[in-house]
Structures are given as structure tokens and as C-alpha cells.
Amino acid sequence: MNEKLIKKMITKSFQQYQCTPTSQEDYETLIERIQNMFSNHAEIDLYEAVEDVVYEYITLS
């Protein structure tokens, strides 16, 4: 999976919540979680995976 594309999608998703991840490690963790979710659930699309992971990150941080 293209990490640059996922990082761009994460950034756009965070912009709608008017915040950003706190570190590069957080970005890497989010990318990894999105890739795992996307590969393990054939019925989910990439956009939905990004939105789910970013929302969970924001609400649990």
C-alpha cells in the first residue's frame, strides 16, 4: 500500500477535525493500523479505514 497516499489522506482527515498527530511515530502507527485494517477486511475501502482510524485516534487521545 502506498504510504504517501495514506499519509496524505490522514492529513486531510485530521484537517476536518482541526488537529494533527503529535509525532512522526504517530503517523507511522496510524499508517500501519490502516494498512492492517485494509488488508484484513476485504469489504472496507481505504477512505473508510482512514476515517475510522483517525477518529479513534482523536477520541482516545
| Full-model pTM | 0.88
Burial class from Cβ neighbours inside 10 Å (0-12, 13-18, 19+) for residue 54 reads: buried
At residue 18, the pLDDT reads 93
pLDDT at 1 over 80: no
Task: Give pLDDT tens digits for 24-56.
Answer: 999 999 999 999 998 898 788 999 999 999 999
The C-alpha angle with vertex 48 and arms to 7 and 3, in degrees rounded to 5, equals 20
